[in-house]
Homo-oligomer: A and B are copies of this chain.
Amino acid sequence: MKVVNYRELPTKPYENDTAHNATGRLLIGQADGAANFAMRIFELAEGGTTMHHAHPYEHEIFVHQGKGQVFEDGKWVDVKAGDAVFIPGGQVHQLRNAGSEPFLFVCAVPKGAPEL
């Protein structure tokens, strides 16, 4: 069994043409023996965004803290702590912080997807 707090884990920053003020941490992955799917957590600072993109694999998301928005079909949908979000494979998506405190969400992906 592995137990780890997300704050203890190394962060991967995301900064490119569409992602800003965003970091990811791998909570549980292949190296832990998790063969079927990986669990990550992303933290967006005030004004932060993830990448605007699509990929073949799905996202299963749980919002742990803060307020954000998810881009879908040309519009932004509000999400908050306690919300679950399913983004099917192939769908263009992006998340952003819509509040003043950090926006944190857990995001799981199936095997074959990049772990971070």
Confirm or deny: A13 has a beta carbon within 8 angstroms of a beta carbon on chain B.
Answer: no
Which residues 1-15 in A have Cβ within 8 Å of B in the complex?
Answer: 1-7
Q: How many copies does the complex hold?
A: 2
B88 near A1 (CB under 8 angstroms)?
Answer: yes
Closest B residue, CB atoms, query A57: B36
B86 near A60 (CB under 8 angstroms)?
Answer: no
B91 near A1 (CB under 8 angstroms)?
Answer: yes
B3 near A85 (CB under 8 angstroms)?
Answer: yes
Confirm or deny: A62 has a beta carbon within 8 angstroms of a beta carbon on chain B.
Answer: yes
Closest B residue, CB atoms, query A104: B82
B36 near A36 (CB under 8 angstroms)?
Answer: yes
A82-93: CB near B (< 8 Å → 1, else 0) gives: 111111100101
